[in-house]
């Protein structure tokens, strides 16, 4: 078998991928552009890809291709209909990053809630020392306990966020983006009510017709001052132009691990936000704890093993 790993860099340099060599001849590319893809997969029996797109035209020109392993949960980078027509098996890995994303949700929430950027800065720039007082409470922060935490998308990750938020003492409610996930432990609210009442809002939904531009200028106007809005679902759920404008007109906070275009483009309106202390952006890494990436690799290996044993 010829195995081709198209974007090894997304797995991290610290991950030992030599286990894949047991299945055949492994060719590894750190990154792969759209223009390079077809040439690199021409003689592949098995492709491993995270974000590299494999479309119908490419599949038609790769006669040996038998299996596409997506090193992620989302499968939108592969034309699934074309794969089915050509008898190519497509597998993903689900559930590997839940703990990692939940942890990052609270890391972002606590960083913004406790004004960590400000307090870290005043210590390191000597301001605290010059004041001569043992403490600094010039930027008040709040406790999660007693606050309302609204969750948009109560799937596997959303449910775990709800459990942790409850352990902190928060009052949890949720909004179902599909309108079908209504039999839950927590009360369901319509979107406007959730945005209007919640102190912390976290998004854990997929990007689809129901969620594209779900958060926009119209409903951002409902968000209270001091609210924290977190997106750990997909870029495109929040309209970034509208968010940038809102952050400069109302005192609330946003934490984003995902963007509509990644990496952050130079012309993204978020770069021009004046109140930068109200905005935290991390580079789509909530999924990527060491433990999660190890589970991901184990899932890929298992998918290949099961396929080859058929």
- Quick check: helix, strand or coil at residue 15? coil
Strand partners, 231: 203, 256
**Average of pLDDT values for 129-148?**
96
Residue 230 pLDDT? 98
Global confidence as pTM: 0.93
C-alpha atoms less than 13 angstroms from C-alpha of 263 in its C-beta half-sphere: 5
Distances 89 to 59, 68, 71, 212 between C-alpha atoms, Å: 12, 6, 14, 29
Element (H, E) at 193: helix 191-197
| Residue 54: alpha-carbon gap to chain centroid | 21
Altogether, the residues listed in the chain come to a count of 310
* Residues 257 and 280: beta-carbon distance below 8 Å: no
| Cα–Cα nearest to 88, from 73, 104, 69, 111 | 69
| Helix 156-167 vs helix 98-113: crossing angle, to nearest 10 | 50
Query: What does the alpha-carbon distance between residue 28 and residue 149 come to, in Å, rounded to a whole number?
Result: 43
Count of helix runs (H) and strand runs (E) in the chain: 11, 11
Assign 170 a pLDDT band (cuts: 50, 70, 90).
very high
CATH tag, 2-93+290-309:
3.40.50.720
Asked if the model's pLDDT at residue 310 lies above 90, the reply is no
pLDDT at 63 over 90: yes
| 262 noted as active-site residue | yes
Mean pLDDT of the chain: 97
Identical topology for domains 2-93+290-309 and 98-281: yes
The pLDDT value given to residue 181: 83
What are the extents of the domains in the chain?
Answer: 2-93+290-309, 98-281
Query: pLDDT (tens digit, 9 = 90+) per residue, 244-299?
Result: 999 999 999 999 999 999 999 999 999 999 999 999 999 999 999 999 999 999 99
Catalytic residue among 21, 36, 262, 291: 262
Give the H/E segment covering residue 49.
strand 46-49
Cβ pair 23, 5 in contact under 8 A: no
**What's the pLDDT at 47?**
98
DSSP β-bridge partners for residue 4: 27, 47
Q: State the average pLDDT over residues 4-8.
A: 98
φ, ψ dihedrals at 299, nearest 5°: -65, -40
User: What is the model's pLDDT at position 180?
Assistant: 87
Are the CB atoms for 17 and 5 separated by under 8 Å? yes
What Cα–Cα distance (Å) separates residue 127 from each residue in 41, 136, 170, 273? 57, 10, 34, 25
Give the model's pLDDT for residue 32.
98
Give the CATH fold of the 98-281 domain: Rossmann fold (3.40.50)
19-42 pLDDT, tens digit per residue, is: 999 999 999 999 999 999 999 999
Rounded-to-10 torsion of CA 300, 302, 303, 309: 140
* Residue 196 in tokens: 């209007």
| Catalytic member of 104, 204, 234, 278 | 234
Strand partners, 280: 255
Asked whether 154 and 162 are in contact (CB, 8 A), the reply is yes
The pLDDT value recorded for residue 189 is 97
Residues 257 and 229 sit within 8 Å (Cβ to Cβ): no
Cα–Cα separations (whole angstroms), residue 30 to 58, 75, 300: 20, 20, 17
Q: Which pLDDT does position 28 carry in this prediction?
A: 98
Report pLDDT digits (tens) over 94-119. 999 999 999 999 999 999 999 999 99
Give Rg (Cα) of the chain.
22
Q: Tell me the two tokens of residue 78.
A: 């592969």
Query: What residue has token string 């968000």?
Result: 223
Structure tokens at 164: 């942790």
pLDDT of residue 182: 87
What pLDDT does residue 120 have?
A: 96
Q: What is the pLDDT of residues 232-254, one digit of tens each?
A: 999 999 999 999 999 999 999 99
């Amino acid at each position: 078998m010829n195995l081709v790993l198209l974007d090894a860099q997304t797995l991290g340099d610290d991950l030992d991928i030599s286990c894949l060599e047991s299945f055949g001849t492994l060719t590894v590319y750190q990154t792969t552009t759209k223009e390079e893809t077809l040439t690199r997969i021409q003689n592949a029996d098995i492709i491993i890809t995270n974000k590299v797109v494999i479309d119908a035209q490419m599949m038609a020109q790769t006669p040996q291709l038998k299996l596409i392993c997506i090193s992620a949960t989302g499968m939108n980078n592969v034309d699934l209909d074309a794969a089915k027509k050509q008898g190519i098996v497509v597998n993903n890995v689900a559930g590997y990053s839940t703990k990692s994303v939940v942890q990052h949700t609270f890391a972002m929430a606590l960083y913004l809630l406790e004004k960590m950027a400000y307090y870290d800065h005043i210590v390191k720039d000597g301001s605290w020392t010059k004041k001569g007082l043992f403490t600094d409470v010039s930027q008040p922060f709040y406790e999660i306990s007693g606050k309302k935490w609204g969750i948009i998308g109560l799937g596997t990750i959303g449910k775990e966020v709800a459990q942790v938020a409850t352990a902190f003492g928060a009052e949890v409610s949720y909004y179902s983006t599909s309108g079908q996930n209504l039999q839950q432990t927590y009360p369901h609210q319509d979107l406007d009510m959730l945005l209007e009442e919640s102190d912390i809002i976290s998004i854990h939904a997929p990007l689809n017709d129901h969620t594209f531009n779900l958060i926009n200028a119209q409903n951002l106007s409902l968000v209270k001052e001091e609210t924290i809005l977190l997106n750990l679902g997909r870029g495109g759920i929040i309209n970034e132009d509208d968010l940038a404008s809102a952050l400069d007109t109302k005192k609330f906070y946003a934490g984003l691990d995902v963007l509509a275009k990644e990496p952050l483009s130079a012309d993204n309106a978020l770069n021009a936000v004046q109140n930068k202390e109200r905005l935290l952006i991390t580079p789509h890494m909530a999924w990527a704890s060491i433990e999660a990436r190890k589970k991901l690799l184990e899932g890929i290996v298992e998918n290949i093993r099961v396929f080859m044993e058929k």
